[in-house]
Structure 1
């Protein structure tokens, strides 16, 4: 087994070893949940270094130009690095029961099949054919406005971001932000510092919240607070392709 294959299998095993009962409880209660360590520091640096190889990416987005905030990110091509592909494959079967449960509570369709491959084929037939896997780079003063990641009608309700730099060492600030719009109440916000190599599972756009009549739809947005110093890079794993 090559070093690359070994590292990919290790990442898969780390996802499988997570306490999925506890993570599910966190996601149900808050719409986001922090995993344990999925990647070593060396693995994080190798993935982050891919940013400087433009041939690996289909497009580059300047956030200030589009008024998304400040900073830059790049969408991978479908020729994903093996470790990124393995992580996405490993997460999907664990997130699928949560997605189906949320859809049942909200009384909406749950179109997601048992395998990620089948789901991505459904996305492609619907015209969503572009890779949505993303590598983000923030420098001092950069930030990301609150938003929802929806790239078409075919949407998976959860996604993952993995921190590739060490908070407090490589950068300061840059907390991951989430804001929940509550029914007939003021919004509730939260911030999470993502340790290097750890993942944050979070709501793509909305989640079920308890109400007097059973369950209501709770819209959520996410973003990144201002990076005070250094450089913050992150890997975004999305489970649907883009239109």
Structure 2
């Protein structure tokens, strides 16, 4: 399926067209997987422009004030923009089999329901009622420290980030970075080469790795390296809500 077809199809149709068996293998092996050309350039630009619309968001975070890095981000308020809500609802059921398999492999009792609406009900019942999809904005010398997006008791173990700007044209530097910390080993780094409209699926907190004595848990963190010039925008889609 080509990128032009993806650009006009609904998010659920676009997502269904990817090789999910292959994506699951990538997530198992590396803790991340790319979905090329998930959004069109037009959609990316429209989402990036929303950053200036105060009425769309519940809060704004300036990273430097909290030691998170440099740059800023804004959490969307409900109702979410259509494309964000549709991507969140359509991606979740495709990720549930991976999430449940990971938890079983790591000896965790939590299992996730089939639909995102059911999972959000679980979050809201536990007091996690604030939406977590967000737009991030970086300028020259901005960066995002390595972190994990944990917002309460209920955490979905995978999330999605979509690059809305074009490397080499809109900005330079600013690579998406993952680190993995295995027990008694030094950290492993993964740099994901995103283009405008590309998405990366990645582990929020922990993922299982098969060892000689069975599966064990490894700790994952993600961030963005220093933007050297220009401006970079990203859409983050987190599937659990926040307290």
**For residues 7 and 240 of structure 1, what CA distance do their matches in structure 2 show?**
26
1:1-243 aligned within 5 A:
9-243=9-243
Contact conserved, 2:7 with 2:40, CA < 8 A, in 1?
no
Deviation at residue 112 of structure 1 after TM alignment: 1.1
Contact conserved, 2:148 with 2:205, CA < 8 A, in 1?
yes
Partner SS for 1:202? strand
Deviation at residue 10 of structure 1 after TM alignment: 2.6
Deviation at residue 7 of structure 1 after TM alignment: 7.1
Unaligned runs of 5+ in 1: 1-5
**For residues 59 and 8 of structure 2, what CA distance do their matches in structure 1 show?**
25
**For residues 234 and 7 of structure 1, what CA distance do their matches in structure 2 show?**
18
**For residues 137 and 220 of structure 1, what CA distance do their matches in structure 2 show?**
23
- The runs of 4+ residues in structure 1 deviating greater than 6 Å are none
Post-superposition Cα deviations, 1:202-239, rounded to whole Å, max 9, x if no partner, equal 00011001122200010011000000111100000011
**For residues 86 and 26 of structure 2, what CA distance do their matches in structure 1 show?**
24
TM score, norm. by length of structure 2: 0.95
**For residues 14 and 195 of structure 1, what CA distance do their matches in structure 2 show?**
17
Unaligned runs of 5+ in 2: 1-5
Post-superposition Cα deviations, 1:166-202, rounded to whole Å, max 9, x if no partner, equal 1111111000111100111111111112111111000
Contact conserved, 1:9 with 1:86, CA < 8 A, in 2?
no
The two structures, once aligned, show a CA RMSD in angstroms of: 1.3
Partner SS for 1:65? helix
Contact conserved, 1:14 with 1:37, CA < 8 A, in 2?
no
Contact conserved, 1:8 with 1:86, CA < 8 A, in 2?
no
Contact conserved, 1:176 with 1:223, CA < 8 A, in 2?
yes
**For residues 174 and 115 of structure 2, what CA distance do their matches in structure 1 show?**
34
Evaluate the alpha carbon distance shift between residue 8 and residue 159 of structure 1 in structure 2; reply closer, same or farther with a 3 A threshold.
Answer: farther
Partner SS for 2:217? strand
**For residues 7 and 55 of structure 1, what CA distance do their matches in structure 2 show?**
27
TM score, norm. by length of structure 1: 0.95
